Amino acid sequence: MSKEISFDTIEDFTSNLSKHPAYGVAANAAQTNGIFKASQNTQSKIDLDPTFSVEIDTGSVTNQKQSGRCWMFSALNTMRHSIQKEFKLKGFELSQSYTFFWDKFEKSNFFFENVIGSADKPLGDRKVSFLFATPQSDGGQWDMLCGLIEKYGIVPKKVYPETANSENSRALDDTLNTMLRKGGLELRALVNEGKSEEEVEAHKAELLDAIFRMLATSLGLPPKSFNFEYTDDDGNYHIDKDITPQDFFKKYIGWDLENYISVINGPTADKPYNKVFSVEYLGNVVGGRQVRHLNLELSEFKKLIVNQLKQGEVVWFGSDVSKGGDREAGLLDTKIYQRDQLFDYDFSMSKADRLDSGESMMNHAMVITAVDLVDDKPTKWKIENSWGDKPGFKGYFVMSDEWFDQFVYQAVLNKAYLPDEIKQAYDEGKKNPIELLPWDPMGALAFDF
């Protein structure tokens, strides 16, 4: 039987306040300054000095503005670094708007295909409800960007620049999700009315045509080819005429994206280590690259990231940036806010418990560009963010190693630097990955405004 809260119980709780000597001071501080400022630990700023023993120079930061494209910005940042260095192009950027267009378009088809495939289930089914709750968003994963690049290539930012709708995507997302929900219901109805596959596909094509028109109106029509014209840092002029986005990627980036794999540290009971996982309904390009994660123990996960930095290559990673962060100061630290002392309460949870309870999940992607090693052990990390150059250290953040342990969940690693047993575990597991439910925390999209 449920028990209500009695007024006697409330009176007891009120009396208990006097048992906490710091209550009055804490209440004044919290009510005047807010919880985070009242509990801020100034020692974090001292401990997280931006000095590193292993550092890769990556230049100025980018700015995703009011959009959830952090995963695109951070992934394209890892690629632009090599262009900047090899072709002497300080400040060069790849077009995040170009991949944004094709991601929206491919996610629309991905949603419709999943709606058609689940049309036999009622709308109240949890998986169907999951699909319609957010038909698409700005968020994504490394493998999803690889799928876009493998199909559509990439272009320089000046060839396909930002628009009002890419820099502030709320109206675009709202419009597109309305179109997708309406179209999804129409496709479900056709399937359940027994219409032929050809009739269902014909209506899907009509819907995609309207969506393509909306995206082209809002973002611009992506180029099929372009002239890559630039003056390098030495003042030399160059032009590469009539190059396609696919050929631009091959010529100026030249990465074999199959050599870059996602590893995670998900210490929950349902995810054995050294196994590969996929997530149901997670993706964008139908028939394209599937999202796969190799789960590793924290010590191995961290060691491999350090090794890649030592090899001179930055690391794309996913984390929960909403926890223990001072955005203005550019600091990520588990000790930066001492709420335990402010409220005389133990807030500690294990990483697994936070994941299992929904207390934490990946919500932002950035790039690790440096690590400070003391006795060959990490103490802090340098992070290239995509929030412009105002916060932190000209847009760069410093992350404590303790914060890394608790809130970093994913990294993308070059197989060239991995030991054979890790490569073998991934290659064997990707053939038949363990599929997680759509709402699993390891299926969370990197999505932060």
Are 61 and 96 in contact, with CB atoms under 8 Å apart?
no
Respond yes or no: is residue 364 known to be catalytic: yes
Q: Could you write out the DSSP letters of every residue in 331-353? A: EE-TTSB-HHHHHT------HHH
Catalytic pick from 70, 146, 177, 265? 70
The burial class, CB within 10 Å (0-12 / 13-18 / 19+), for 348 is exposed
Residues whose CB falls within 8 Å of the CB of residue 140, separated by 6 or more in sequence, listed in order? 71, 72, 103, 284, 445, 446, 447
283-301: b (≥16 Cβ within 10 Å) or e: bbbeebbebbbbbbeeebb
Q: Which helix (H) or strand (E) holds 117?
A: helix 96-117
CA distance 121 to 129: 10
The question of whether 307 is a catalytic residue gets the answer no
Alpha carbon 100 to its chain centroid, in Å, reads 14
Q: Are 119 and 187 in contact (CB under 8 A)?
A: yes
Residue of 265, 284, 363, 364 with catalytic role: 364
Taking residue 143's Cβ as centre, other Cβ atoms within 10 Å add up to 23
Query: Which is nearest to 366 in space by CA: 401, 409, 326, 315?
Result: 315
- Catalytic residue (choose from 109, 114, 284, 385): 385
| CA nearest neighbour of 128 among 137, 118, 136, 120 | 118
Rounded CA-CA distance 193/186 in Å is: 11
* Helix, strand, or coil (residue 259): helix
User: Is residue 81 flagged as an active site residue?
Assistant: no
Catalytic residues: 70, 364, 385
